[in-house]
């Protein structure tokens, strides 16, 4: 096993001839062995930024073009990516709409100014900026302002929020952009990121062997949800909980996750948990806004996606084998459901 490929970047497509590389500045230890690309032309930089964040236009003072260079380092677990973005001169980036992910931007030096809609925000080594999906953003970087960026896929964020709430999120999740890292309670955020960085940095770590990736991601995502103000904060910090229904849901989910590779029906789940079919169906409908079997299918798709993302085609891994392993016996339906969920075919995930 290995850390997942950085699938949103086609490094081969961005390897263009560049001038003699300027020595990278301050790359975090965990990412030093994870260089993705270095480009020296604004059009190539727009391509990199477009794949990592969202389609973007980059503006550079003509006087700085001669020394322009963009370098990206990144390591991806599955739905959480740690990245380091270094640009050698001041630049401005216009993004019409941020992509299907949340990103936390922390300059390791200098300052980066953000405009989200009409509101200005500044980021520096003690003050991060959090971007949410679908925002119009302008990013203006001052000289010598490389950024450490944490990227979290929207589906993973919403999935973890649903677990914490005990039901599907109501409405769009958006974070307050201003993240004051000098506050005492944000030491927990530093600790979560340090733990992930340590796992990435050590070649013999559990994460490098594919063990515990889900737990590491849950730690990062849950820490951000609990610490940073968002549209879900009020509900997270004191929403009344139907303890009986939460117990029913927890028991059913635990049974499902322990038997995902086996043929499952609502009747089998009920028999395995000692509860009635109606009780289980009611719990899933009220708290997750879905049915038990839709939940089973979603979890199986997630397992397939995780294995495909970790695999390398030269290892002899086949989509068919992984799909059958996780209980998909009708491969045509599987491919259609996979594309509906992830906007790509399973073979595309494997080839990335």
Strand partners, 76: 4, 81
In this predicted structure, the answer to whether residue 9 has a pLDDT above a threshold of 70 is no
Q: 74-100: per-residue pLDDT in tens?
A: 998 888 999 999 999 999 999 999 999
pLDDT band at 10 (very low <50, low <70, confident <90, very high): low
pLDDT for 3: 60
CA angle 124, 126, 129 (to 5 degrees): 60
> Based on the number of CB atoms within 10 Å of its own CB, is 20 exposed (0-12), middle (13-18) or buried (19 or more)?
exposed
pLDDT for 313: 63
230: tokens are 């968002």
In this predicted structure, the answer to whether residue 141 has a pLDDT above a threshold of 70 is yes
- In the block, tokens 């009220």 appear at 286
pLDDT for 306: 81
In this predicted structure, the answer to whether residue 331 has a pLDDT above a threshold of 60 is yes
pLDDT band at 19 (very low <50, low <70, confident <90, very high): very low
More confident residue, 317 or 16: 317
pLDDT for 242: 62
pLDDT band at 23 (very low <50, low <70, confident <90, very high): very low
In this predicted structure, the answer to whether residue 21 has a pLDDT above a threshold of 60 is no
The model carries a pTM of 0.77
In this predicted structure, the answer to whether residue 199 has a pLDDT above a threshold of 70 is yes
pLDDT for 275: 92
pLDDT for 312: 65
Report the alpha-carbon distance of residue 254 to residue 260 in Å, rounded.
Answer: 10
pLDDT band at 208 (very low <50, low <70, confident <90, very high): confident
């Amino acid at each position: 096993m290995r850390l997942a490929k950085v699938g949103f970047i086609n490094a081969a497509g961005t390897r263009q001839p560049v001038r003699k590389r300027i020595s990278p500045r301050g790359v975090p230890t965990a990412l030093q062995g994870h260089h993705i690309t270095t480009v020296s032309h604004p059009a190539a930089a727009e391509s990199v930024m477009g794949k990592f964040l969202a389609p973007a236009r980059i503006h550079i003072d003509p006087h700085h073009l001669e020394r322009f260079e963009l370098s990206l380092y990144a390591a991806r677990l599955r739905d959480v990516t740690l990245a380091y973005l270094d640009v050698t001169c001041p630049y401005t980036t216009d993004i019409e709409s941020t992509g299907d992910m949340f990103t936390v931007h922390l300059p390791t030096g200098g300052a980066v100014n953000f405009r989200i809609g009409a509101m200005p925000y500044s980021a520096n080594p003690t003050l991060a900026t959090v971007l949410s999906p679908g925002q119009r953003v302008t990013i203006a970087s001052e000289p010598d302002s490389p950024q450490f960026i944490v990227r979290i896929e929207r589906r993973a964020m919403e999935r973890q929020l649903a677990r914490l709430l005990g039901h599907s999120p109501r409405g769009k999740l958006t974070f307050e952009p201003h993240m004051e890292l000098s506050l005492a309670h944000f030491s927990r955020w530093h600790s979560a990121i340090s733990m992930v960085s340590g796992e990435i940095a050590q070649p013999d770590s559990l994460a490098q062997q594919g063990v515990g990736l889900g737990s590491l991601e849950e730690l990062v995502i849950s820490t951000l949800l609990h610490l940073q103000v968002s549209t879900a904060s009020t509900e997270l910090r004191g929403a009344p909980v139907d303890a009986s229904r939460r117990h029913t849901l927890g028991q059913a989910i635990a049974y499902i996750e322990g038997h995902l590779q086996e043929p499952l029906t609502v009747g089998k789940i009920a028999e395995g948990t000692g509860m009635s079919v109606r009780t289980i169906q009611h719990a899933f409908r009220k708290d997750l806004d879905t049915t038990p079997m839709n939940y089973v299918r979603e979890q199986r798709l997630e397992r397939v996606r995780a294995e495909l993302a970790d695999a390398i085609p030269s290892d002899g891994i086949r989509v068919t084998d992984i799909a059958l392993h996780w209980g998909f016996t009708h491969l045509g339906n599987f491919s259609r459901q996979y594309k509906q969920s992830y906007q790509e075919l399973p073979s595309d995930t494997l080839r990335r």
